[in-house]
Structure 1
């Protein structure tokens, strides 16, 4: 479904700021896979997402989505097939526009409504109301309110709905609960799990919560210095603890994780 073949990227080559961000990344996701990604800051996680989303063209390698080579597609063309959420709840929505207007923009961009004269129908509005109600946040009664009036958690839940209103071929979640308080983060993660499972969405999720990394989805990847150093699934993953995961990382990467957010998450409860 998604396949990365020998993808590499170096920023500022030949300068003192040269950074090898991705090195010969090979990754294959089957339809419906939900893989979590962990790793220290600078490991290459967000750069991997940027490569998939089309923020840049990699130096080498290819990116294939659902059998089509999209390596040289611009990001706006990929956005019809790829949904993405960021860590900052302020990204992904237009604060001065209403909830309904934001949903309409997302719906028209991702659906077959390709004409510039396309309009939202009554049936479309009914769909928006129905899907908002499923979030359980009362947003279906605030359709005419500007998104800027929503809390961070409400905006992130709305952005998640916008990214999946028309089921994407791939959903990228870039620490989409990191800026939220723990209780709100748990709610958004629970929504994420339900929406992804119900719609059988192929998903990659970056997280610093090690419990969530092992409990959400069906596969866990760990990155270090531009490489995927761990890729676990099945019985091996289901029987693994956070300490086991950290020990495996130390063995494969040759050093211990020193990221405070990851290490502190060893004490957190499971989310979702």
Structure 2
């Protein structure tokens, strides 16, 4: 489903602020793979997502999605087939528009038919929105005419997740999408995520700072450091691993200890 070949990106090249953000990243995801990604700040996780979504064009390398070369496609075209959630719950929605209007924008943007963005929402579409909102179990199906700005952070993030998957994307990117939420709300949004990804068989990459989530969610775990993927595990080997095993693999492959406080503190979280 996704193939990254030798993706490289350097910011501010040739200056004192030069930063190699992606250093020859190679990755292949099969259809339906759900891979978690862990790594310290600056490891290249969010930059990798931005390269995939087209926020910038990589200096080198190629990106193939669903058999299509999207290396030089603009971001707005990629957004029709790639869902992207951010850590900030406020980023994924338009606060002054209603819940229904936000869903309509997402639905039409991702429409596969030609000129879908110039279509109108039908009564049948609105019923579909209501049915999907009811699955969130937050009562939002009865508030479709209310501005999104009145919702809590958790409700907005759940709505953003629904918007990103209203039309099943080829790829879903989750960039620590529960990190800014309180623990109870984060757990609920994470459960919704797991359910939607499983039901729709979505190919997914999820950045997390929680080491338990990294091993328990999905079917594959990646670790990044210095703009590279330093460890990639799945299958039986992954099922036998503990958090300490994962940290040791990072030390062996990256040549240093993982020193991110949030990640290390998550060893005691469950």
Q: TM-score range by the shorter chain?
A: over 0.9
Partner of 2:112: 112
RMSD, aligned CA: 0.8
Cα distance in 1 for residues equivalent to 2:137 and 2:44: 35
Residue by residue over 1:160-192, the C-alpha shift from the partner in whole angstroms, topping out at 9 and shown as x without a partner, is: 000000000000000000000111111000000
Cα distance in 1 for residues equivalent to 2:117 and 2:254: 50
Give 1:112 shift.
3.0
Cα distance in 1 for residues equivalent to 2:116 and 2:227: 41
Give 1:14 shift.
0.3
Give 1:239 shift.
1.0
- Give SS of 2:257's match: coil
Residue 165, structure 1, aligned to residue 144, structure 2: no
Residue by residue over 1:220-251, the C-alpha shift from the partner in whole angstroms, topping out at 9 and shown as x without a partner, is: 00000001000000011111111110011011
The gaps in structure 1 that reach 5 residues or longer are none
Give 1:129 shift.
0.4
Give 1:111 shift.
1.1
Partner of 2:238: 237
Give 1:116 shift.
5.1
Correspondence 1:116-155 to 2 at 5 A = 117-155=118-156
Partner of 1:227: 228
Q: TM-score, normalised by structure 1?
A: 0.98
Higher mean C-alpha displacement, 12-21 vs 116-125: 116-125
Give the length in aligned residue pairs: 269
- Give SS of 1:135's match: coil
Cα distance in 2 for residues equivalent to 1:155 and 1:228: 31
Partner of 1:249: 250
Q: TM-score, normalised by structure 2?
A: 0.98
